[in-house]
């Protein structure tokens, strides 16, 4: 446990994403050839050099940048910073060869091994979990339109305050997270609450950058999903809410028009939203 992980500050969320990243076995590390490393890093450095010349970057600015980069590392915010400002471009490259449901970025707050839940279920939540109740329902199908029995929806989202369990010390582990196993027709019905928009923590180095640049720190409210089934290419995506704040100015540039839910208020006070997922063969 790091100091930041127990911190009650919002920046603690961004910081503990480093722990989570290290704990998860991410693929791809150490596999790049010298040619690939040289090609990519040369281009990155060219971009930096060009910016320095074009913007006439000064020594004080260069030193301030170094100081800030050190703080990003010490504050554990590399996953937060990279997922907010860079991941959408990597996702766009992946999306170019992807059929079926549109993907979106994973972000820094995924945790593997969430509780397995049946097709009709309620996500783990606190007694009296605040927020508008949401019934999220739909079906997973293949590109030919046939149902995918037993597909898994690994779902996680923020609470009504924009905090994620596992990354905010006041929220119980596993809150608003689960692996929903669809029925024999690929169908699911998940009861949860609607999340709030997410604000990048303003008290860490990522927030400091956003404030210094005069940008806003918001992401629109969203559900995160990994949709997977044996024999199919898994999809990492997010679903947003029609009419919600920041839909058109997501700081992480991760919205797509195909990924917007239209929740309909029910007589019982709950909102109901339907979404069907389409998986392509692996
Ligand atoms: C989030 O909740 C998120 O989804 C992303 C991509 C970045 C920061 C916080
Ligand atoms: Fe998120």
Q: Number of structural domains, the chain?
A: 1
Domain annotation covers residue 67: no
More confident residue, 27 or 164: 164
pTM of the predicted model, to two decimals?
0.93
Q: What is the pLDDT of residue 172?
A: 97
Q: What is the pLDDT of residue 24?
A: 83
- Give the residue, by CA position, lying nearest to ligand 1 atom 6: 107
Domain annotation covers residue 42: no
Q: What is the pLDDT of residue 7?
A: 40
Query: pLDDT at residue 3 above 70?
Result: no
* 19 contacts 2 by C-beta, under 8 angstroms: yes
Query: pLDDT at residue 29 above 70?
Result: no
Domain annotation covers residue 40: no
Domain annotation covers residue 82: yes
Query: pLDDT at residue 26 above 70?
Result: no
What are the contacts of 69-75 at 24+ separation with CB within 8 A? Answer: 71/205, 71/208, 72/205, 72/206, 75/4, 75/11, 75/14, 75/15, 75/204, 75/205
Query: pLDDT at residue 76 above 50?
Result: yes
Query: pLDDT at residue 4 above 50?
Result: no
Domain annotation covers residue 46: no
Domain annotation covers residue 81: yes
Whole-number Å distance between alpha carbons of 134 and 115? 19
Q: What is the mean pLDDT of residues 209-228?
A: 98
146 phi and psi angles, rounded to 5 deg:
-80, 145
Q: What is the mean pLDDT of residues 217-226?
A: 98
Nearest ligand 1 atom, CA 87: 6
Give the tens place of pLDDT for each residue, 247-260.
999 999 999 999 99
CA of 152 from ligand 1 middle (Å) equals 22
Query: pLDDT at residue 9 above 70?
Result: no
Domain annotation covers residue 249: yes
Please choose from 88, 90, 108 the residue to mutate so as to test ligand 1's pocket, defined by most ligand atoms within 8 A of CB. 108
Domain annotation covers residue 65: no
* Residue 93 burial by Cβ neighbours in a 10 Å radius (0-12, 13-18, 19+): exposed
Can you give the CATH number for the domain in which 141 is found? 2.60.130.10
Determine the structural domain holding residue 105 and report its residue range.
Answer: 3-31+77-279
Query: pLDDT at residue 89 above 60?
Result: yes
Residues lining ion ligand 2 (Cβ < 5 A) are 107
Sign of CA dihedral 103, 37, 80, 178: positive
Which segment of 26-30, 32-36, 171-175, 227-231 scores lowest on mean pLDDT? Answer: 26-30
For residue 225 and ligand 1, the question of a CB distance below 6 A is answered with no
pLDDT bucket at 16, cuts 50 / 70 / 90: confident
């Amino acid at each position: 446990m790091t100091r930041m992980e127990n911190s009650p500050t919002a920046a603690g969320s961004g910081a503990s994403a480093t722990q989570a990243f290290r704990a998860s076995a991410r693929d791809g590390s150490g596999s790049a050839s010298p040619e690939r490393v040289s090609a990519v890093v040369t281009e990155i450095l060219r971009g930096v050099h060009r910016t320095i010349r074009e913007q006439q970057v000064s020594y004080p600015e260069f030193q301030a940048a170094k100081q800030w980069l050190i703080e990003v590392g010490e504050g554990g915010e590399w996953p937060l910073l990279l997922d907010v400002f860079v991941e959408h471009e990597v996702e766009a490259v992946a999306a170019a060869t992807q059929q079926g449901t549109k993907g979106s970025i994973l972000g820094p707050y995924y945790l593997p091994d969430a509780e397995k839940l049946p097709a009709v279920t309620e996500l783990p939540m606190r007694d009296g979990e605040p927020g508008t109740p949401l019934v999220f329902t739909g079906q997973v199908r293949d590109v030919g339109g046939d149902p995918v029995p037993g597909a898994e929806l690994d779902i996680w989202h923020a609470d009504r305050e924009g905090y994620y369990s596992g990354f905010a010390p006041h929220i119980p582990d596993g809150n608003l997270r689960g692996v929903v196993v669809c029925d024999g027709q690929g169908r699911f019905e998940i009861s949860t609450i609607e999340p709030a928009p997410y604000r990048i923590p303003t008290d860490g180095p990522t927030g400091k950058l956003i404030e210094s640049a005069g940008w806003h720190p918001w992401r629109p409210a969203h559900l995160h999903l990994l949709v997977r089934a044996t024999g199919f290419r898994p999809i990492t995506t997010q679903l947003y809410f029609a009419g919600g704040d920041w839909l058109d100015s997501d700081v992480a540039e991760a919205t797509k028009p195909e990924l917007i839910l239209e929740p309909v208020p029910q007589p019982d006070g709950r909102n109901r939203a339907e979404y069907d997922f389409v998986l392509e063969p692996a």
